[in-house]
A = this chain, B = another copy of it.
Amino acid sequence: MIDLHEIIGLVAAVLTTASFLPQVVKTAKTKDTSGLSLSMYIIFFIGVLLWLIYGVLINSLSIILANIITASLTLYLLLMKLRYK
């Protein structure tokens, strides 16, 4: 069984990840990456990878899942930025 605190974490993960999706959808549709800051996204990506490592170290399912998805979406935006800059 999943603990109550893990359910709260998973809902948190869904909400914060969902709020990131419109940027991804917009960039995928328009290929316009002029509004995205490359340096800021690189810093964010490294931060997300460290959160992922942290999640593994403290054995938190919510943090691991949230940051695998966010890292994937951020990597996609970074690749779009590099391709269409």
User: What residues make up the interface of A, taking CB atoms closer than 8 Å to B?
Assistant: 4-5, 8-9, 11-16, 18-19, 22, 35, 37, 40-41, 43-44, 46-48, 50-51, 53-54, 57-58, 60, 62-63
Question: Is A5 in contact with B43, judged by CB distance below 8 angstroms?
Answer: no
Q: Point out the residue from B50, B53, B62 that lies within 8 Å of A54, measured CB to CB.
A: B62
Select one of B19, B46, B57 contacting A47, CB under 8 A. B19
Q: Could you say how many copies of this chain the assembly holds?
A: 2
Chain B residue contacts of A43, Cβ below 8 A = 15, 18-19
Residue of B nearest to A60 (CB): B58
B-side contacts of A58, CB under 8 Å: 5, 9, 58, 60
